[in-house]
């Protein structure tokens, strides 16, 4: 029945998003497969060139450092969109809202509450205080409506049975949302007719939604029309494109540390006509670089006095300082308990079985089979420092074992999730490649999830690593509207 592009496509033994093990397209992929099967690989390669030229011209690039001078690369978008049917999305959405709500409650409890979660013995106190992401300097600084994590990026994977599982939470400065919007814009230009057969939920309201959420956390007593800015480390940061993109989508100023001054605990920006007060800062600078007075004193990216202004209630920093304690990978194992504790409900989304290596019992249980597990440092993101057991050499496993013995608090081990795969254009034909999904959750008037999110794809054959810094690409992600058009 399939005579064109999908000819000879083999999902192998993996869970394939588009094609069943019997070789037939899944129901929600039927129209797409039918449409694309009419393309020759040559035509698709031509579309890829159009796409690459468009991305370069638009400067949609990220900078890779480490090879001498930084190199601007485009983040490759695969031409085949990933499709999520309405019912699966409804489940994900509900689970994400629940998870982020609980995590915000947890953070507020730790920083401005009674730390009831610790006192009630849900999470050990030493685990909190030993977390690199826990910032004592943030203690007592409240955020209106408890929206400490105003933007969350929750990484979701799908296992061999097709079950969606949360892989990790990104509650500090999750990035990638600009690609969600740019990928969609690119798809509508490169393959416009493919949209004909689908009702795809739009994503381009992200900017206004983000702005509304930021305005809502403006300090009590601030101007009813608060001044919101985006704080970036500057043009040489790898995510600068995204920072400028978001400022443009919201129509607010994109500032650097040197554009801001703090005087008498009030933050202002230097304008052509003097100083102008700032009420809300969507900061895309890590905690430790934010304010040289309380954090790293060698930071030239930050603004001296920023934390004191936040403490005085004159400015809101978003996301709040200290969120790293909640996306610490050792705390991850406790999130199901946090959901039960704060919301009195069972977690809607599954997690990945996780072993806490400081716990002797758990450590002894897994230390002998690290070759079957994934080991991650607890405070890193972007896939840095992680070891995938099945593909690691004996000496790598031994080295990891020694690091674990030396500092067990710093590592977790997880069962390998056999990530689902998706047909992906490789040279002139389709091959299955592993993917994940990062939906973006906004805490405004209500907790809102932008339909879909960023689907990242491991472009190297067999690779499970999807991070853009390590050879990953992306896909436009379609959430289909249900019969009611939502």
Partner 1 sequence: MMLARHAESLFWAGRQIERAEDTARMLDVTYHGLLEAMPWEAERSWKDLLKVLWLDRPFAELEQGMRAATVSEFLVFDPDNPGAIVSAVGNARENARAARELISSELWEAINGFHLELRSRNLRADVEARPHELYGFVKRSCQMISGVATETMPRDDGWRFLMLGWMLERAEMTVRLLDVRYSQLVTAGATGGFHHWLQTLKSASGSEAFRRRYRASMDPADVVEFLLLSRTFPRSVLFCLRAVENDLARLEAGSPNLARPQRILGRTRSDLEFLDTHELLQGDLHVFLDQLLSGVRQVAEAVALQYFRSAQEHDIHALDPYGPAAEVG
SS3 of residue 147 by DSSP: coil
Q: If binding is defined by CB under 8 A, does position 67 make contact with partner 1?
A: no
Q: How far is Cα 374 from Cα 394, in angstroms, rounded to an integer? A: 14
CB atoms within 10 A of CB 428: 11
17 with 158: CB under 8 angstroms? yes
Q: Please count the residues of this chain forming the interface with partner 1, following the rule CB under 8 A.
A: 26
Q: How far is Cα 480 from Cα 139, in angstroms, rounded to an integer? A: 42
Q: If binding is defined by CB under 8 A, does position 269 make contact with partner 1?
A: yes
Q: What is the nearest approach in angstroms of partner 1 to the Cβ of residue 483?
A: 36
Q: How far is Cα 77 from Cα 188, in angstroms, rounded to an integer? A: 13
Q: What is the nearest approach in angstroms of partner 1 to the Cβ of residue 58?
A: 6
Q: What is the nearest approach in angstroms of partner 1 to the Cβ of residue 109?
A: 36
Complex with partner 1: residue 74 or 288, whichever CB lies closer: 74
Complex with partner 1: residue 240 or 358, whichever CB lies closer: 240
Complex with partner 1: residue 269 or 339, whichever CB lies closer: 269
Q: What is the nearest approach in angstroms of partner 1 to the Cβ of residue 285?
A: 16
Q: If binding is defined by CB under 8 A, does position 271 make contact with partner 1?
A: yes
Residue with tokens 């405004």: 444
**Binder of partner 1 out of 45, 48, 70, 139 (CB under 8 A):** 70
Q: If binding is defined by CB under 8 A, does position 108 make contact with partner 1?
A: no
Q: How far is Cα 418 from Cα 159, in angstroms, rounded to an integer? A: 5
167 with 325: CB under 8 angstroms? no
Cis peptide before 219 (omega within 30 of 0): no
Q: How far is Cα 195 from Cα 27, in angstroms, rounded to an integer? A: 16
Q: What is the nearest approach in angstroms of partner 1 to the Cβ of residue 259?
A: 5
**Binder of partner 1 out of 91, 189, 276, 461 (CB under 8 A):** 276
Q: If binding is defined by CB under 8 A, does position 261 make contact with partner 1?
A: no
Residue with tokens 């797409």: 32
Q: What is the nearest approach in angstroms of partner 1 to the Cβ of residue 65?
A: 11
Tokens of 120: 């009630």
Residues in region 128-167 near partner 1 by CB under 8 A: none
> Considering only 21-29, 206-214, 243-251, 442-450, which stretch makes contact with partner 1 by CB under 8 A?
243-251
**Binder of partner 1 out of 3, 13, 272, 395 (CB under 8 A):** 272
Q: If binding is defined by CB under 8 A, does position 189 make contact with partner 1?
A: no
List, in sequence order, every residue forming a beta bridge with 327; answer none if it has no partner.
Answer: none
> Considering only 105-113, 145-153, 155-163, 248-256, which stretch makes contact with partner 1 by CB under 8 A?
248-256
Complex with partner 1: residue 88 or 259, whichever CB lies closer: 259
Tokens of 298: 């060698």
377 with 410: CB under 8 angstroms? yes
Complex with partner 1: residue 68 or 344, whichever CB lies closer: 68
Closest CA to 294 of 269, 322, 270: 322
Residue with tokens 């509508």: 188
**Binder of partner 1 out of 5, 44, 154, 247 (CB under 8 A):** 247
Spell out a b/e string for 349-361, using b for 16 or more CB atoms within 10 Å of the CB, else e.
bebbebbbbbeee
Q: If binding is defined by CB under 8 A, does position 58 make contact with partner 1?
A: yes
Contact positions vs partner 1 (CB under 8 A): 56-59, 63, 69-70, 72, 235, 240, 244-245, 247-248, 253-256, 258-259, 269-273, 276
């Amino acid at each position: 029945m399939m005579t064109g592009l999908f000819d000879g496509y083999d999902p192998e033994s993996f869970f394939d998003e588009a094609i069943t093990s019997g070789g037939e397209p899944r129901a929600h992929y039927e129209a797409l497969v039918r449409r694309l099967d009419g393309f020759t690989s040559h035509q698709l390669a031509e579309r890829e060139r159009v796409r690459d030229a468009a991305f370069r011209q638009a400067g949609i690039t990220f900078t890779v450092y480490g090879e001498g001078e930084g190199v601007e690369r485009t983040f490759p978008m695969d031409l085949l969109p990933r499709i999520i049917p309405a019912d699966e999305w409804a489940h994900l959405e509900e689970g994400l809202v629940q998870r982020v709500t609980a995590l915000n409650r947890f953070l507020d409890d730790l920083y401005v509450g009674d730390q009831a979660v610790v006192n009630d013995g849900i999470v050990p106190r030493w685990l909190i205080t030993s977390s690199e992401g826990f910032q004592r300097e943030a203690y007592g600084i409240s955020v209106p409506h408890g929206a400490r994590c105003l933007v969350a990026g929750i990484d979701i994977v799908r296992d061999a049975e097709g079950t969606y599982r949360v892989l990790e939470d990104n509650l500090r400065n999750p990035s990638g949302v600009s690609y969600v919007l740019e990928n969609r814009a690119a798809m509508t230009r490169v393959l416009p007719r493919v949209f004909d057969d689908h009702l795809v939920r739009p994503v381009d309201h992200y900017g206004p939604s983000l702005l509304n959420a930021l305005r809502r956390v403006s300090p009590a007593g601030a101007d009813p029309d608060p001044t919101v800015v985006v704080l970036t480390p500057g043009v040489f940061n790898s995510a600068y494109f995204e920072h400028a993109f978001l400022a443009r989508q919201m129509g607010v100023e994109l500032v650097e540390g040197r554009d801001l001054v703090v005087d008498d605990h009030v933050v202002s920006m230097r304008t052509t006509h003097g100083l102008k007060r700032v009420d809300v800062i969507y900061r895309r600078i890590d905690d430790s670089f934010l304010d040289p007075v309380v954090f790293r004193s060698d930071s030239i990216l930050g603004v001296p006095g920023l934390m004191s202004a936040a403490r005085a209630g004159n400015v809101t920093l978003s996301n709040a300082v200290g969120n790293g304690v909640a996306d610490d990978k050792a705390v991850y194992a406790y999130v199901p308990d946090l959901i039960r504790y704060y919301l009195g409900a069972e977690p809607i989304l599954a997690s990945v079985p996780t072993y806490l290596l400081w716990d002797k019992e758990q450590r002894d249980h897994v230390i002998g089979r690290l070759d079957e597990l994934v080991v991650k440092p607890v405070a890193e993101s972007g896939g840095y420092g992680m070891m995938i057991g099945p593909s690691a050499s004996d000496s790598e496993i031994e080295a990891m074992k020694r690091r674990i013995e030396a500092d067990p608090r710093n590592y977790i081990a997880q069962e390998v999730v056999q990530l689902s795969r998706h047909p992906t254009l490789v040279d002139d034909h389709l091959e299955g490649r592993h993917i994940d999904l990062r939906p973006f959750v906004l805490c405004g008037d209500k907790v809102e999830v932008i339909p879909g999110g960023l689907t990242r794809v491991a472009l190297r054959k067999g690779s499970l690593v999807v991070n853009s810094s390590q050879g990953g690409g992306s896909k436009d992600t379609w959430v289909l509207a249900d019969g009611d058009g939502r």
